[in-house]
Structure 1
């Protein structure tokens, strides 16, 4: 694989910096903490890291409300600290991605302060403004993703401004070529500092319907928020977004070897990915949302999602993800509150065997369950507003457990911004490092296997029928073939394999009978090579 296409089949380790390691004693993780743990990350065997936002921000949405795209929030350190992360990561052979949020800014961004001053300011049209209806109500029925209308009245401007998320996150007007040019220069700023790629947050939200037409209603019996009750066809996934994606790609192409992964959501993310994510001329890859919020985990869920991807987007390249900072951790979401280490190991083996690139969320290598955060400790505005119907994102964002130290597991020297779940202490890096059969060591071995196998990194995927609870597929590249088998059920299963095989490694190796019959324990997995 050329260095230009290093991202194909790469494993990117997502770091949520607030929760990785606190080196300053304020209870919040920082860039120096990431720097200090890069040796640990290199030892895992991943290809790169993606750092969630560390930019200047009032933290209404914990960094996803940016008030200065080109500086580091003092909470996380300085630009020099970031440069040190880049230097050490590259020295260790680790690529660095950063989060870029181009659909909106903070309401404390200097651009918005000027835009809201009056309708004649230089940046009057840099955000989405609209007049009230004759009765004073918002311009249309658009709803935000978090709660309530996507419009907030601004007395200084005498108009409503649009926000797909919090009122503190006004939407940029990316129909304005001046805004697009400024965003492209922002991207160049970080590429010039040496970043190897970007994760584009909520990028399918970057354009709105200029005619301001109402979104149609949709039936959703399990709706928890007003936004769930409408089809957001005029606020998410507009076809013209593809042109902006191509402009961003042109910037990336000025810097050989850099790439972008898009967070492309909506009611049919794959349909948008077909338009926005073209490795040849647009975003190189897009998040596959088929697994983050869906369940239960069955062979059909995996197979249908991958086959749908291949059928509808044959020239695309997906990025597979089971957990991140916005979703309930996969072991809990799919395996329940009592999910075992074996279940977490099987999930990691499956994720690292799938077709596409992979994002591995911090703590996934430890098999962390979703943390239990009591109501009085919640900080996620979505969770607080919608409690108890949605528990929000805090349970996936609690501090990384490094040691057995109680109560903060080596993350900080004083109480952290979110509590450490007591169950995580026994799953800490210290508790698992060097222990045969631990989730950490199994994941390290799986990453080593993947890095050594062209089939597992970039090969084709061919599914094999294997029974109700067993998922079976082959990865094929040139003359290399790898058989991947996963028992998603909790009872032992026997599988008849096509042909004769032997175990690729001794990771969770079950019994193999006559070279073709395989016995898998509950939540067991097996990787094999042709005999």
Structure 2
């Protein structure tokens, strides 16, 4: 891949997400920091990825661990300084890596100066920068909108004697994107980082920017949303047609794209919606909004060939020129090894999932630790930090289990910190630490490096069209077609028992040497061991 020559290099790229609190702590306070990321950039570069997405590191009271921003243009001292960030950018670029920052635009922390001023009165300069509403005659909130984190999304404020909207925590008031000054303020803050050399932006909850000004109540959901939220959360009981995914957001994303194009930067949007694929298609179509988007549709507990095929085909059917990013793990979802692999996932399963993800049409997004096949950590209630988990415990334990610190070595705390980690390092992760896997040619880490390098050598897998074959569960069968190249067939056994598949292009099918996934073909019949895969050229 030639990033310098291809205007759509990001379509061929791989994104690697870093959750800074849990990557590497260099000052012994138990929390990862920017110098820690800088220290591990060679590790990331050796993995073979292209873009490093760093979750929020801006000034914040940390009630939602950085997704509640109090200053968009500075680094929180917990993570370091602006100088530390500049050094990180410089080193990343020297290694050929691009840096993508996380922008949380829909809401701020209540400590943000914008909200401090807005809540003072109903007639100050920023009084309309947030979503305020009078109570109903009986004192209740203006409508039935719910917070993703539980309960009403309206909070009474005694200063203004009004309710303010918060789609997430009470301490995360929602900005009023209908106000043009709010939009411009965010674009100005983003320009600050682009001028420092940032190569891209991940937009958190990007379909939450606007709300229905009429404040109509949401109707009941005809089909409950269990992709975005846990089924113990009443949020999924509503059809969210008034509190998010409003049409005005398209025009704002177009303004955002103009700014990004000025710097040659890219954007990926997080979409959590009742019909996420439709919103993804809308936000990526036309080449004048987001470059790509991802949803929670592959971050659910459903691991069937039909489900995976449906997500890719439905997106493809809805948009011709847009682009998806396929993520099976991130900081908001139970680790894929446990979520899809069960209580005792095998090493082969981790390799299969990565190979499958890298074979879909779209930009893969990998989450730190998945290249090491880390399972979900068990964090006891007394150590839980996530407010989401505290609210819905024990049926939903929150997001801490996927956020525990990375184990780099077999030393104390996995070599993550010389102090007490903010979350415990899982003992099973220490046993499978990066240093242990580094020395094992059959490890998940070694396989990930080989698989990523192999994908880069196969233009069919980075730029080709995708067609699925009808196959019995748990087999996922697909073909990638690229003009001027031989079509590649990929067959995956998602199950724990041997499986077979009869190739439609049986005669002459040629097995491709791949990074080490077991699978054989005899007379057009592919035989796959548990969690095996087969790659071959079509006739």
Separation (CA, whole Å) in 2 of partners of 1:523 and 1:247: 45
Out of 430-439 and 166-175, give the one that drifted further. 430-439
After superposing the two structures, state which structure 1 stretch, 315-324 or 475-484, moved more.
Answer: 475-484
Q: Tell me the SS of whatever aligns to 1:527.
A: strand
- Report if the CA contact (8 A) 1:262-1:277 is conserved: no
1:506 Cα deviation (Å)?
Answer: 4.5
TM-score between both structures, scaled by the size of structure 2: 0.95
Partners of 1:363 and 1:311 lie apart in 2 by: 33
> 1:283-432 counterparts in 2 under 5 A?
283-295=290-302, 297-406=303-412, 408-432=413-437
Shift, 1:225, TM fit: 2.4
The equivalences for 1:179-328 within 5 A come to: 179-218=182-221, 220=224, 223-256=231-264, 258-278=265-285, 280-295=287-302, 297-328=303-334
Distance 2:453 2:156 in 1: 54
Choose the corresponding residue for 1:48, options 51, 60, 68: 51
Query: How far did 1:314 drift?
Result: 2.1
- Residue 501 (structure 1) shift: 3.4
By how many angstroms is 1:153 displaced?
A: 1.0
C-alpha distance 465-218 of structure 1, shift in aligned 2 (>3 A): closer
Distance in 1 (CA, whole Å) between partners of 2:521 and 2:152 is: 61
C-alpha distance in 2 between matches for 1:332 and 1:107: 35
- Between stretches 28-37 and 388-397, larger displacement belongs to 388-397
How many Å separate the matches in 2 of 1:414 and 1:221? 41
How far the C-alpha of 1:515 sits from its partner, in A, is 6.1
* Residue 475 to residue 17, structure 1, CA distance change in 2 (3 Å): same
Measured in 1, the distance between the counterparts of 2:354 and 2:280 equals: 25
Q: What corresponds to 1:38 in structure 2?
A: 41
Say whether residues 1:529 and 2:532 are aligned partners. Answer: no
Does structure 2 conserve the Cα–Cα contact (< 8 Å) formed by 1:508 and 1:525?
no
1:473 correspondence with 2:478:
yes
Instruction: Quickly say closer, same or farther: Cα 1:464–1:163, change in 2 above 3 A.
Output: same
Shift of 1:510: 3.0
8 Å CA contact 2:34–2:79 kept in 1: the answer is yes
Where in structure 1 are there 5+ consecutive unaligned residues?
none
Shift of 1:528: 2.3
Instruction: Output one character per residue of 1:169-221: Cα deviation in whole Å (capped at 9) or x when no partner.
Output: 00000000011111111111111111111000001011111111111123649
1:156 & 1:238 partners in 2: Cα distance?
29
In structure 1, what is the Cα distance between the partners aligned to 2:477 and 2:97?
A: 31
What RMSD, in angstroms, separates the aligned Cα atoms of the two structures?
1.6
State the 1:405 CA deviation.
1.8
Q: Which residue among 8, 12, 34 is the counterpart of 2:15?
A: 12
- Counterpart-to-counterpart distance in 1, 2:419 and 2:499: 48
Q: Give 1:279 deviation, angstroms.
A: 5.2
Asked if the contact 1:508/1:524 (under 8 Å) is kept, the reply is no
Pairwise CA distance, 1:511? 5.1
Separation of aligned partners in 2, 1:114 and 1:56: 18
Question: Using the alignment, how far apart are the partners of 1:217 and 1:107 within structure 2?
Answer: 30
Give the SS at the match of 2:156: strand
Q: How has the CA–CA distance of structure 1 residues 511 and 212 changed in structure 2, closer, same or farther, with 3 Å as cutoff?
A: closer
* Distance of 1:375 and 1:175 partners within structure 2: 40
Alpha-carbon offset, residue 396 of structure 1: 0.6
Q: Which residue of 1 aligns with 2:494?
A: 488
Distance 1:493 1:221, change over 3 A: closer
Cα deviation digits, residues 119-167 of structure 1 (max 9, x gap): 1111111000111112221111111110111111111122111100001
Whether the aligned pair in 2 keeps the contact of 1:146 and 1:165 (CA below 8 Å) is yes
| Correspondence 1:508 to 2:521 | no
Check whether the contact 1:510–1:519 (CA below 8 A) recurs between aligned residues.
no
Structure 2 contact 511–521 (Cα < 8 Å) conserved: no
Is 1:154 matched with 2:157? yes
Q: Name the CA shift for 1:511/1:304 in 2 (closer, same or farther; >3 Å).
A: closer
Partner Cα separation in structure 2 for residue 43 and residue 522 of structure 1: 29
Could you tell me how far 1:513 is from its partner in structure 2?
4.1
Looking at structure 2, the residues matched to 308 and 530 of structure 1 have their Cα atoms a distance apart, in angstroms, of 24
- Report the more deviating stretch, 517-526 or 145-154: 517-526
Query: Is the contact between residue 270 and residue 294 of structure 2 (CA under 8 Å) also seen in structure 1?
Result: yes
Q: Distance in 2 between matches of 1:442 and 1:221?
A: 35
Name the CA distance, whole Å, in 2 between partners of 1:509 and 1:127: 53
